[in-house]
Structure formats: structure tokens, C-alpha cells
């Protein structure tokens, strides 16, 4: 995606113009000293500029041009929509208007008008009285264009097979599969509309109203099965979410208070996805399957906030919110198999969850350099959904025993105590203790307790050098695991990672230095380790580390170089059980690593009228899964992603108002995913796949645009 020019370039251009105007004005002043005998006749040292708060009338810039993509690169269009070879429009605008006194204003911003990722925003109002904001933006997701499927009716909630289709017990025996495959594009588009208004009726009161509407449309993959006979299906996405924010606030000399309402309303145009069974039915009338999709739902919340400062070094604040989640969409039929059409005990869930959130914070500084902080919080989720007994329908194949829905809820209480002390002018130490107790219903563990000790230290031994060091130690325990009579041996040994006893240690380090006025360097690193000492089956340990460096060189106002490099790694070790033994009989060792690097250089006022810049970014990731079962196993292939991207641009300022910009962009992307690559529609005998491959592309793009500035 091309933006002309970017924010850094705009700052450079505007700074250069301001410097030039100051020099010109100074020359005019010295040349005309004899004629300028009075202050009214003197030329001002600082001329008017675009950033002045009281500039009157219209000003802005208009961008118009053409771009050309030399290659079809579907995944290159992810988040931009720029995926097809050919010409495309480059368009944008930034227009502002100011009243003479500077209080009234209107701003219009538009970018990428020729792309699917376009955005437009209008802001306006009267400073100190009211403000209005209207905006629209779209985000295209381009997932994959190499997929194929034998199903007809893609994009609807009913998928069928060709009339000539002959079912079989496995994909490799389906005689019509190869001839029935047709191309499938996986994509989603999101559009967002926003309208906001704020009113300041008096010096002490503010009110705000915001309404947002989101739409999503597209196709994404989803899995459906008949016991072990599975298919990957093209699921339609067509839903809308509306959000409303309304708030009001009032301030006094040493206090403030506010109240707010938030509402979220989700609607799905599709209630279920039905598909024809491509396999030989496991029951006589099991010719179709059905998946329920996300149901319509709502959330409402009322909140109040207050703050009080009885004296300069003491601060009290509180926040209380009550909410309600509602979900009462009508149930879809229990099964798509006629013989399994069991009556439902209810026509809808009548789901209701009430939430309560409260926080009380206090901060005090008994003397200069020392401050204490305390916070107590309560988060409660009260699930009032009625329980009913439902007959289990297992993948539209058979009926099992009745099970009641479990209305999960929880209560979390936290207490945080901390302090901050300035040891010296160049050193500051912070430390604290946090405690959390969480109780849950219908969970394997009723209660968990976690405490955390943390400390941070900031040291600045020299004006050009600062260091921040942090360390955290945490421990989580809880009540005894509850085991039911129906749990298998492996389920009895399994401890879920978010409930199990855990010991956590983490450390961070950041060093910032400016050895010279035009050089700055930031170095950072982090280490983390989670250990689950009492887990037999489940996650055993987790290790994470990250480090990086940022460099900035600006030897002059006309030239600058920035660069960065970082690497993150994550390792997890998990034990599992696939037999009736009371110990782990397999182990998975997962290792993921990602590296990101970039370099950018810009030069302004080259030969007086030219700006030029270039950048390069590199990203790579690797995922390694090793499965140990005590016998010889073929390891999973590595998951790999690699991306290179280079950009170059040149801007020629033909006149003070007209600029011409040329930009070239090169991108190379490669992904290797063993779950996709080489997995044809019939590669697995009990999986009808989408026959997709990992996205890879090479893209070359050039853009030429003009920018006209006016005042």
C-alpha cells in the first residue's frame, strides 16, 4: 500500500519549508530596514505556517496518481486489497478549515481511495463547545485463493454436492471428487462506520456519544464431521455488530465524577451451516450434517467513576460497572438426521450473565521522593442461564445420554500494594505485592490463589544513559482437583494450564543511550519461565525470551537513518496420555522463534528540490514440533514463514505548491505449512480437505502521484 508521503516525510518537508521561509523573511527584513521605520511596517521574523492555531480559511493537500502491480499476488492484498495485476488509483486528501478566531474547525482526511483498504474521516466543531467525528474504513482480508471444493452453494448456508456425486467410505474412493473440484477463494471484508459527538455545555461538564457499525462478509474454512469422517467446509460470514458509547463527566476543584453506558449488539445473518454428506452414511438417513453458527447476542453495561484529591500528594479513585449479557436466539433443530430429531427442552437458551466490576485505588506520597499505591478490585460473573437436560446428538450420527448445560461463572478478588522511592536523583526503585483469588463454578478446580512479588529499578548514571531492570516472581496454588466418576484415567491426571499450580519468574532489561546528540540506541531483553510442578498430564513448562535493538542516526536535519532488530523465542513442553495408564506416555516439545529486522534512510533537500528515501524489512519465523512416544516417529516438518520487503521513493518539489512522487515497492513472501502443502482433497482417507497450499508470492509495484498544497 502506498501512502504519499508518509508521516515522517511530511514532517521533514514542512520543517524544510519553515526553515526556508524564515531565511527568506530574514533576508527581506535586512534588505528593507530603511523602509521599515515602524513596527507595523516591519516584516515578521516568523512567517505564518500551516501549524499555527489561528490560521484562517481553507488549507490542505490533494494527492492523485496511478500505481501498477506487475504480478498477481493474492496474499499481498491482505489488509490492502491490492492483489490483482494491473493499474490502480492513488488518491488521498487532507483538507482543513479554521475560523478567524481559531475556535471553529473542520478537517477532512482521506487515504488509499483507490484501494479496498480506503478510509475517510471528517472532524469538526467549535473548540471548547462541541465536536463531531464521522469516519469510514474498510479492511480486506485475503486468506487463500488456492483452495478448491466439490460443494455447491458456496456463500450460502446450505452446501450441496453435484447430482452425479457418488459417495464412498473414504476420500480416495470417491469417483467424482477430482472432476467436481472447483476453485474456492477464502476472504473476508470488514467495513466500519463511526459517528461521534461530544458536547461541553459548561466549563465543568462534558458529554460524549459514539455509535459504531461493523459489517463482515466473506468465506472462511470450518470443519464438520460424521464421527471420524471429516470435511473442511466453506463457511459463509455475514454479520453485523453495533456499539454505542454514551458518557458524561463533571469536574470540581479537587474532584471529578462520570457515568457511562456501553451497548454491543451482534447479529448473524446465518444461524446454521448445512452440508450434504460426501461419505457413505453411517446411518440410513444420515445424508446431511448441520453446524450451528454464532448466535445473535447483546451486552449492556452501566459504569460510574469518581476521583478525589484531598491534598496535593493524596489521590483516591473508584470505578464500578454493572453489565448484562443476553443471548436468546432460537435454537436450530437438534439434528439434520430425521431419525435423530429429538425434541428440545427449550426453544431458546434464554442466556443471561450479570457482571459486576469494581476498583478502588489510593495513592499517597508522605514526603518527596516516596509514593505508596494500593488497589482493591472485584470482578464477578454471575451466570443466570437456566439449566435444562439436552439429549446429546453426536455429529448427526447417534444419540447419547442427556447432559445439562453448565452455566459457568466466577468471582475474582485482587489486592495490589506498591511503592515507588527515589533513592538518588539518578536512581528510582519500585516494588510491590499482588494477590488474586479466583473462584469458579462447574470447573475441575473451585479456587485458585496467586501471589506475585515484583520490583523495578531505573538508573540514570549519566545524562545520556538510562537503565531499567525488572523482575517478577509469582506462585499459584488452589483447591483440590475434582474428579467425577465418568472421567477417564487420562482425564483424572490432566491439569489444565490456567488452573494448575504454577511458578513463574520473569525478568526484563532496557538500556537507552544517546552517546552523541544525533545518535540514540535502545537495547532490550526479556526472559520468562513458567513451571507446573504438580502436573502429570498437561503443560510442564513454558520458556520465553526476547531481545532487540533500535538505532537512530540523524547527523543533520536533512538526513536520517533508523534501524531495528529483534528476536523472540517460545518453548513449551507438554506431557500427554493416550492409554489407561496413570502416567504420561507421550511428550510434545514445541519451539517457535521469530526474527524481525528493518533499516530506513531518508535524505531531504537533495539538490535543493528532491527528497529521497529507502527502507528494507525482513521477517522470518519457524515452528518446530517434536513428538516423543518412546518409539521411532517421523518428526513433523518445520513451519516456516519468510518475508522481504523493500521500498524506495523520490519526491520532486516542482513548485512550492506542487510535488511529484515516485515510489517502488518489492515484496517476497514464502510460507511452508505441512498441514496445507501437499494435502490434496483426498490425501487423507477420512478428511475431505480444501486442497489449498500455503501462500507465497513475489510482488513488484510502482506508483507515481502528484501532491497539490493550497492555503
Q: 166 and 174 in contact (C-beta within 8 Å)?
A: yes
Instruction: Label residue 289 exposed, middle or buried (CB < 10 Å: 0-12, 13-18, 19+).
Output: buried
| Three-state DSSP class for residue 386 | coil
C-alpha dihedral, 112 to 113 to 115 to 120, nearest 10°: 70
Given a cut of 50, is residue 259 above it in pLDDT? Answer: yes
Residue 487 pLDDT: 56
Given a cut of 60, is residue 481 above it in pLDDT? Answer: yes
| Three-state DSSP class for residue 442 | coil
Given a cut of 50, is residue 4 above it in pLDDT? Answer: no
Given a cut of 80, is residue 6 above it in pLDDT? Answer: no
Given a cut of 70, is residue 512 above it in pLDDT? Answer: yes
Local confidence band at 100 (pLDDT 50, 70, 90 cut-offs): confident
Residue 269 pLDDT: 97
Q: Looking at residues 494-515, what average pLDDT do you find?
A: 95
Burial 126-140 (b: 16+ CB within 10 A, else e): eeeeebebebebbbb
Instruction: Label residue 278 exposed, middle or buried (CB < 10 Å: 0-12, 13-18, 19+).
Output: buried
Give the three cell numbers for residue 618: 525482513
pLDDT, tens digit, for every residue of 24-43? 333 332 233 233 333 333 33
322 — phi, psi (to 5°)?
-120, 140
Given a cut of 60, is residue 485 above it in pLDDT? Answer: no
pLDDT, tens digit, for every residue of 450-466? 999 999 999 999 999 99
pLDDT, tens digit, for every residue of 369-398? 999 999 999 999 999 999 999 999 999 999
Residue 245 pLDDT: 98
Local confidence band at 627 (pLDDT 50, 70, 90 cut-offs): confident
Which among 137, 114, 93, 115 is positioned nearest to 706, based on CA atoms?
93
Given a cut of 70, is residue 125 above it in pLDDT? Answer: yes
437 — phi, psi (to 5°)?
-120, 130
User: Cα–Cα distance between 645 and 597 in angstroms, integer?
Assistant: 11
Given a cut of 70, is residue 581 above it in pLDDT? Answer: no
Q: 304 and 254 in contact (C-beta within 8 Å)?
A: no
Residue 61: C-alpha distances to residues 58, 90, 95, 96, 102 (Å):
10, 14, 6, 9, 20
Residue 482 pLDDT: 80
According to DSSP, the β-strands at 272-276 and 158-159 are parallel
Residue 277, CB half-sphere, CA atoms under 13 Å: how many? Answer: 26
User: Cα–Cα distance between 48 and 1 in angstroms, integer?
Assistant: 34
Give the three cell numbers for residue 251: 469536574
Give the three cell numbers for residue 528: 520468562
pLDDT, tens digit, for every residue of 639-690? 999 999 999 999 999 999 999 999 999 999 999 999 999 999 999 999 999 9
Given a cut of 50, is residue 3 above it in pLDDT? Answer: no
Residue 13 pLDDT: 34
Query: Which pTM was predicted?
Result: 0.87
**How far does Cα 691 stand from its chain's mean position?**
29
Q: Looking at residues 61-81, what average pLDDT do you find?
A: 95
Local confidence band at 364 (pLDDT 50, 70, 90 cut-offs): very high
User: Cα–Cα distance between 295 and 592 in angstroms, integer?
Assistant: 35
What sections of 49-189 are H helices per DSSP?
Answer: 177-180
Q: 506 and 471 in contact (C-beta within 8 Å)?
A: yes
pLDDT, tens digit, for every residue of 145-198? 999 999 999 999 999 999 999 999 999 999 999 999 999 999 999 999 999 999
Q: 544 and 528 in contact (C-beta within 8 Å)?
A: yes
Residue the block writes with cell 517457535: 592
Q: How many CB atoms lie within 10 A of CB 461?
A: 11
Ramachandran area for residue 345 (φ above 0: left; ψ -120 to 50: alpha; else beta): alpha
Given a cut of 50, is residue 44 above it in pLDDT? Answer: no
**How far does Cα 40 stand from its chain's mean position?**
56
Over pLDDT 70: what percentage of the chain? 90
Contacting residues for 106 by C-beta, under 8 A, at least 6 apart: 96, 97, 122, 123, 124
Better-scored residue on pLDDT, 571 or 54:
571
Strand positions, DSSP E, 328-383: 351-367, 370-383
Supply the mean pLDDT for the chain. 90
User: Cα–Cα distance between 614 and 623 in angstroms, integer?
Assistant: 31
Given a cut of 70, is residue 632 above it in pLDDT? Answer: no
Local confidence band at 577 (pLDDT 50, 70, 90 cut-offs): confident
Residue 195: C-alpha distances to residues 21, 117, 192, 617 (Å):
39, 19, 10, 36
Local confidence band at 45 (pLDDT 50, 70, 90 cut-offs): very low
Beta bridge partners of 318: 306, 360
Residue 673: C-alpha distances to residues 678, 685, 695 (Å):
9, 20, 9
Contacting residues for 613 by C-beta, under 8 A, at least 6 apart: 9, 600, 601, 602, 603, 647, 648, 649
Amino acid at each position: 500500500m502506498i501512502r504519499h508521503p508518509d508521516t515522517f516525510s511530511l514532517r521533514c518537508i514542512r520543517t524544510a519549508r519553515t526553515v526556508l521561509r524564515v531565511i527568506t523573511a530574514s533576508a527581506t527584513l535586512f534588505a528593507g530596514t530603511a523602509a521599515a521605520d515602524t513596527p507595523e511596517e516591519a516584516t515578521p521574523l516568523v512567517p505564518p505556517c500551516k501549524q499555527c492555531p489561528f490560521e484562517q480559511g481553507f488549507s490542505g493537500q490533494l494527492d492523485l496518481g496511478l500505481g501498477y502491480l506487475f504480478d498477481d499476488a493474492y496474499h499481498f492484498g491482505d489488509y490492502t486489497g491490492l492483489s490483482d495485476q494491473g493499474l490502480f488509483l492513488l488518491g488521498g486528501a487532507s483538507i482543513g478549515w479554521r475560523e478567524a478566531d481559531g475556535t471553529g474547525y473542520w478537517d477532512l482526511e482521506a487515504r488509499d481511495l483507490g484501494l479496498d483498504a480506503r478510509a475517510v474521516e471528517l472532524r469538526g466543531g467549535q473548540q471548547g463547545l462541541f465536536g463531531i467525528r464521522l469516519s469510514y474504513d474498510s479492511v480486506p482480508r485475503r486468506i487463500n485463493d488456492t483452495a478448491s471444493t466439490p460443494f455447491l452453494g458456496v456463500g450460502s448456508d446450505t452446501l450441496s454436492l453435484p447430482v452425479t456425486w457418488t459417495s464412498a467410505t473414504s476420500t480416495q474412493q470417491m469417483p467424482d471428487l477430482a472432476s467436481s473440484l472447483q476453485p474456492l477463494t477464502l476472504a473476508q471484508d470488514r467495513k466500519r462506520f463511526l459517528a461521534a459527538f461530544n458536547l461541553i455545555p459548561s466549563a465543568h461538564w462534558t458529554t460524549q456519544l459514539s455509535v459504531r457499525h461493523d459489517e463482515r462478509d466473506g468465506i472462511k474454512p470450518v470443519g464438520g464431521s460424521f464421527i471420524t469422517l471429516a470435511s473442511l467446509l466453506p463457511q459463509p460470514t455475514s454479520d453485523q455488530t453495533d456499539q454505542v458509547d454514551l458518557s458524561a463527566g463533571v469536574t470540581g476543584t479537587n474532584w471529578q465524577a462520570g457515568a457511562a453506558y456501553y451497548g454491543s449488539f451482534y447479529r448473524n445473518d446465518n444461524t446454521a451451516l448445512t452440508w450434504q454428506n460426501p461419505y457413505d452414511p453411517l446411518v440410513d438417513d444420515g445424508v446431511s450434517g448441520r453446524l450451528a453458527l454464532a448466535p445473535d447476542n447483546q451486552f449492556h453495561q452501566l459504569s460510574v467513576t469518581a476521583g478525589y484529591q484531598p491534598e496535593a500528594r493524596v489521590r483516591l479513585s473508584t470505578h464500578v460497572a454493572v453489565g448484562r449479557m443476553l443471548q436468546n436466539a432460537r435454537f436450530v433443530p437438534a439434528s439434520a438426521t430425521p431419525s435423530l430429531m429429538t425434541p428440545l427442552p427449550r426453544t431458546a437458551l434464554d442466556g443471561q450473565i450479570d457482571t459486576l466490576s469494581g476498583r478502588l485505588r489510593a495513592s499517597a506520597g508522605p514526603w518527596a521522593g516516596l509514593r505508596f499505591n494500593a488497589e482493591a478490585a472485584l470482578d464477578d460473573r454471575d451466570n443466570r442461564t437456566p439449566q435444562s437436560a439436552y439429549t446429546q446428538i453426536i455429529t448427526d450420527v447417534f444419540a447419547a445420554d442427556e447432559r445439562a448445560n453448565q452455566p459457568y461463572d466466577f468471582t475474582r478478588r485482587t489486592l495490589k500494594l506498591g511503592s515507588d522511592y527515589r533513592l538518588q536523583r539518578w536512581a528510582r526503585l519500585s516494588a510491590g505485592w499482588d494477590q488474586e483469588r479466583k473462584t469458579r463454578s462447574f470447573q475441575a478446580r473451585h479456587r485458585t490463589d496467586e501471589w506475585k512479588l515484583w520490583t523495578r529499578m531505573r538508573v540514570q548514571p549519566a545524562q545520556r544513559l538510562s537503565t531499567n531492570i525488572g523482575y517478577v516472581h509469582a506462585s499459584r496454588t488452589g483447591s483440590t482437583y475434582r474428579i467425577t466418576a465418568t472421567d477417564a484415567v487420562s482425564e483424572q491426571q490432566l491439569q489444565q494450564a490456567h488452573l494448575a499450580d504454577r511458578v513463574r519468574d520473569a525478568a526484563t532489561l532496557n538500556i537507552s543511550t544517546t552517546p552523541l546528540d544525533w545518535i540514540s540506541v535502545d537495547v532490550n531483553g526479556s526472559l520468562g519461565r513458567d513451571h507446573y510442578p504438580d502436573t502429570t498430564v498437561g503443560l510442564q513448562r513454558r520458556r520465553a525470551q526476547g531481545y532487540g535493538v533500535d538505532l537512530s542516526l540523524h547527523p543533520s536535519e536533512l538526513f536520517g537513518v533508523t534501524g531495528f532488530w529483534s528476536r523472540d523465542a517460545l518453548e513449551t513442553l507438554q506431557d500427554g496420555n493416550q492409554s489407561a495408564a496413570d502416567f504420561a506416555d507421550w511428550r510434545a516439545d514445541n519451539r517457535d522463534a521469530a526474527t524481525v529486522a528493518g533499516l530506513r534512510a531518508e535524505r531531504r533537500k537533495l539538490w535543493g528540490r528532491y527528497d529521497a528515501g529507502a527502507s528494507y524489512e525482513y521477517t522470518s519465523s519457524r515452528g518446530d514440533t517434536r513428538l516423543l512416544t518412546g518409539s521411532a516417529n517421523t518428526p513433523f516438518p518445520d513451519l516456516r514463514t519468510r518475508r522481504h520487503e523493500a521500498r524506495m521513493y523520490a519526491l520532486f518539489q516542482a513548485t512550492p505548491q506542487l510535488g511529484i512522487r515516485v515510489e517502488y515497492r518489492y515484496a517476497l513472501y514464502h510460507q511452508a505449512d505441512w498441514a496445507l502443502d501437499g494435502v490434496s482433497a483426498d490425501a487423507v482417507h477420512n478428511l475431505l480437505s480444501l486442497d489449498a497450499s500455503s501462500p507465497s508470492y513475489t510482488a513488484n509495484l510502482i506508483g507515481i502521484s502528484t501532491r497539490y498544497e493550497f492555503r
